[in-house]
């Protein structure tokens, strides 16, 4: 019976050694593969990273929004430019009219001055002995 106990003890020792080696091998193998907890942690980190960046859909929505605003501003600016152009055209025509009136006034003054000087010269010639 002692022999059987010794044999069982050897078998138990060999089994314990095999179990220890299998546990060590399993731990080494598990370190190479991800667990559900590791995947959950990684998904949480990816979600945080994704929340910090803009997606293509966000960029497309922003592009559409900006395109609409740019189009409305272009329409408003072109309307303002047309209004300023018509206002300036009116002011330019008013200034041209004023310049024409001033030119006419200067021509009248020149003619009146010429007539006055001529009449003074004629009167001086008549009075000259």
- Tell me the two tokens of residue 55: 């997606």
Give 40's pLDDT tier (boundaries 50, 70, 90).
Answer: confident
d(CA 45, CA 51) in angstroms, rounded, equals 10
Q: What is the mean pLDDT of the chain?
A: 89
Query: Helix/strand/coil (H, E, C) string of 16-77?
Result: HHHHHHHHHHHHHHHHHCCCHHHHHHHHHHHHHHHHHCCCHHHHHHHHHHHHHHHHHHHHHH
pLDDT digits (tens, 9 = 90+) for 83-107: 999 999 999 999 999 999 999 999 9
Quick check: 31 pLDDT over 80?
Answer: no
**0.75 exceeded by the pTM?**
no
pLDDT bin (cut points 50, 70, 90) of residue 113 is: very high
pLDDT at 110: 97
Give the DSSP letter of residue 128: -
- Category of 53 on φ-ψ map: left (φ > 0), alpha (ψ -120 to 50) or beta: beta
């Amino acid at each position: 019976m002692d022999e059987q106990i010794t044999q069982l003890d050897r078998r138990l020792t060999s089994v314990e050694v095999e179990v220890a080696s299998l546990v060590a091998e399993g731990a080494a193998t598990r370190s190479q593969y991800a667990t559900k907890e590791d995947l959950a942690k990684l998904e949480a980190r990816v979600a945080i990273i994704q929340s910090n960046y803009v997606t293509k859909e966000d960029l497309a929505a922003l592009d559409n929004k900006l395109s609409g605003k740019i189009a409305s501003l272009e329409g408003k600016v072109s309307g303002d430019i047309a209004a300023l152009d018509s206002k300036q055209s009116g002011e330019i025509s008013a200034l041209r009219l004023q310049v024409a009136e001033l030119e006419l006034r200067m021509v009248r003054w020149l003619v009146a001055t010429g007539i006055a000087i001529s009449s003074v010269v004629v009167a001086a010639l008549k009075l000259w002995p």
